[in-house]
Amino acid sequence: MVKHENYFFLENGDVLKTVKALAFNLDTMSDQLFSAHVNPSKDDFANWIEHVFEGKELADRLRQVKDKRDYQILLLKGLLKSKTKKVKKYKCDKCGKHYDSKVGLSVHKTIAHKKG
Ligand SMILES: [Zn+2]
């Protein structure tokens, strides 16, 4: 879960907790508000995504874009991609079970395949 201090506070007082929330907020966000956060000298959203969600790849792509509509499209694409990325990718080599984190897998290995 995203911690409170990791929320994004928009200049109009709205609070964003997830990248998805930002993508939907862009629908109604004014150009003025958007450019308060995204302009040639900074990109608050990209920084937020990079630091809070470790989405460096998406953030780098967002930094190339200064148009609200294009920005939203990139975000939505990024969300789709991260959804497919969430497929459990750590496979136990002993029983074939899948885990979505390294920790999950190593806990499983410790419990299920403990030696002795
Ligand atoms: Zn196993």
pLDDT confidence of residue 88 = 73
CA 85 to ligand 1 centroid distance, Å = 22
CA 104 to ligand 1 centroid distance, Å = 11
CA 5 to ligand 1 centroid distance, Å = 37
CA 73 to chain centre: 14
Q: Is the pLDDT of residue 83 over 70?
A: no
Residue 38, classed as helix, strand or coil, is: strand
CA 39 to ligand 1 centroid distance, Å = 49
pTM of the shown model: 0.68
Q: Is the pLDDT of residue 41 over 70?
A: yes
CA 87 to ligand 1 centroid distance, Å = 17
Q: At which residue do the structure tokens 């990209």 appear?
A: 46
